[in-house]
Structure 1
């Protein structure tokens, strides 16, 4: 097949000015057939899994912190970073009675996927009993991107197919791959393309092995830029991501997105209201995300627990073509961790705190959250500059 050189939008050029050579675009119906063929025997299951996770009033609990990052969480309450302490904390979360009413999926770190409770039940079984889909973090973390403006790329494609196959056997049914884009760093065209291509390759490999891929190009909150700048960058990033997802014949009905909300930079002089954040975020989604995608599971990105919930609620005040929900880590766990303090006698209170936050976000997914009765701790921001884990 002959190739064509595209020279129109600047977003179609590699950093340094070299034009991309791309295949002539196929009609959408042909791309869909190719995606279904590529997904193979897992096609129906992928669609069912994605729709199950994107079910009304439910979202994702992200507890996929690496051992090092989990250690930082534990250190904040005076606990050593040992496997037994990590197991105890994750057992506290994953065995909370009633959690499945508000949580449809839980992203796990590899250690947790293979772990059991102290009484011998696999964590995967604990989740399945509550009808919570087990998920798995599959990327290998961020490393410096040579030739960029002090930016990063996400590694982990080597051996990914065999790892995904093993994770599926262990009970995982969806996957997560996080890469980041920094607005203060430009972002460079090279970094955006690297992020988009890596996400697309990962998504295709995950689907080939039965895992619904969560596609997560996180746009960091770092910077003092206005919300308009965030919108511009987000549109550019998601344009690239969906181009390469299509190029890799990824089945859109069998993916979930984990975008950042469109907000001003964390150091911007003016703070945006939930209504403004909802307006800009939904504008970006409507311009860039096909309605075939079943679920938009937002990350909290360092917002306070209450901010993340209020913003989600504002986005659900009008009908959307997608399930607009949450995939929160710190915004679900912060109060839980402070309540627990590593003490068995605090476990019941910590589980209650988890249910309170999960229920608040469930209510926000339905557009019915008021913000009444929230504590001062829940209103404290958790932004960390250049956050990685």
Structure 2
């Protein structure tokens, strides 16, 4: 029986669970490994991710899906089990990053367009055969005195829509990720400026999704939170939550089953606290959860340190962050629970 897109999307935003973004590119994972003095070899990358995927308490109770990099989807654990099978056995959905990264947008200085549409139909069919049931594509929008421009917003929104339509054709749920970066200083990147740009971007993305005939019930949105630029962080957690919910309610159709936030450079606890306040204080038409990478993994990576004898410690650190974010996804996280662990 063919799996329905709506059912896969609903499983990805199961109450109290969220998505682990373990799709770091080769360059990004090397930076992460450099920070703990570990060489970024294929075997070390495999061992690190296997440690996360075999953290049964975290995976079974708090993780609904895992975004993988191409290499990881094809890898097998030390005992020969495909990593995607380990994820499935834990009750999570395996997914795949399919974009080819943000490249300079010709004619638009300082702005980028995400590449990877060429050959995507064929790659999606292969990924489906390898077990992936959702995909991810990230469009990047920057805020400065001169950006974003309409050309950049429009072209990234169109690319996201074309990607999403191809995913659904292949029986794969698209995660649509338009990220308004939190870089920038106070003059150009106040929380109000972030609100304005995020509203513009999301409205444009949903216009393009509609024109591309993308089925909203069979997708998941992965947006940024509405937040000050990192050089201008002044807004309270309550203000971030209020403005983020307000922008989503004004732009995201209720047919979308769930919204899984990116952490976007927030600290581990900030990302958790903001999500919890939103779920605790607001009545929402969609599930609101997390799709964090660094904010789920940073503590685990440090605890592991590349040593096999530290696997259990790494899994404990990962489980703690997964549990805290699982609580946040139901509005039940507190600072006391964070410190009690």
Give a deviation string over 1:129-181, Cα, whole Å, max 9, x none.
11100000000011100111321100000000000001001100000001100
Distance in 2 (CA, whole Å) between partners of 1:187 and 1:159 is 28
**What are the ranges of 5 or more consecutive residues in structure 1 without an aligned counterpart?**
1-40, 376-389
Contact 2:111-2:147 within 8 A present in 1 as well = no
- Counterpart of 1:222 in structure 2 is 183
Displacement of 1:190 in angstroms is 0.8
**What are the ranges of 5 or more consecutive residues in structure 2 without an aligned counterpart?**
none
Distance in 1 (CA, whole Å) between partners of 2:90 and 2:55 is 10
2:257 is aligned with 1:294: yes
Local SS of the residue matching 1:367: coil
- Counterpart of 2:45 in structure 1 is 86
* 1:6-17 aligned within 5 A: none
Contact 1:149-1:188 within 8 A present in 2 as well = no
Specify which of 272, 278, 283 is matched with residue 309 of structure 1. Answer: 272
Distance in 2 (CA, whole Å) between partners of 1:118 and 1:88 is 8
Local SS of the residue matching 2:295: helix
Relative contact order, CA 8 A, sep 6+: which one is greater? 2
Contact 2:324-2:338 within 8 A present in 1 as well = no
Give a deviation string over 1:307-366, Cα, whole Å, max 9, x none.
000000011012210000000000000000110101111110110110100000000011
2:159 is aligned with 1:198: yes
Local SS of the residue matching 2:56: coil
Displacement of 1:71 in angstroms is 1.2
2:106 is aligned with 1:142: no
Displacement of 1:100 in angstroms is 1.9
- Counterpart of 2:309 in structure 1 is 345
Displacement of 1:72 in angstroms is 1.1
- Counterpart of 2:25 in structure 1 is 66
Displacement of 1:373 in angstroms is 5.6
Distance in 2 (CA, whole Å) between partners of 1:370 and 1:81 is 36
Local SS of the residue matching 1:327: strand
* 1:260-299 aligned within 5 A: 260-268=224-232, 270-299=233-262
2:45 is aligned with 1:45: no
Displacement of 1:372 in angstroms is 2.1
Local SS of the residue matching 1:316: helix
Displacement of 1:266 in angstroms is 1.1
* 1:1-389 aligned within 5 A: 45-98=4-57, 99-184=59-144, 185-224=146-185, 225-268=189-232, 270-317=233-280, 318-372=282-336, 374=338
Distance in 2 (CA, whole Å) between partners of 1:122 and 1:100 is 18
Give a deviation string over 1:57-106, Cα, whole Å, max 9, x none.
00000000011211111111111111011111111111111222100000
Distance in 2 (CA, whole Å) between partners of 1:115 and 1:289 is 36
Displacement of 1:124 in angstroms is 1.0
Give a deviation string over 1:95-119, Cα, whole Å, max 9, x none.
1112221000000001000101011
Aligned residue pairs: how many? 334
Distance in 1 (CA, whole Å) between partners of 2:44 and 2:265 is 24
Distance in 1 (CA, whole Å) between partners of 2:31 and 2:228 is 27
Distance in 1 (CA, whole Å) between partners of 2:143 and 2:109 is 11
Distance in 2 (CA, whole Å) between partners of 1:122 and 1:266 is 39
Contact 2:263-2:271 within 8 A present in 1 as well = yes
Displacement of 1:374 in angstroms is 4.2
Distance in 1 (CA, whole Å) between partners of 2:261 and 2:41 is 30
Contact 1:149-1:186 within 8 A present in 2 as well = no
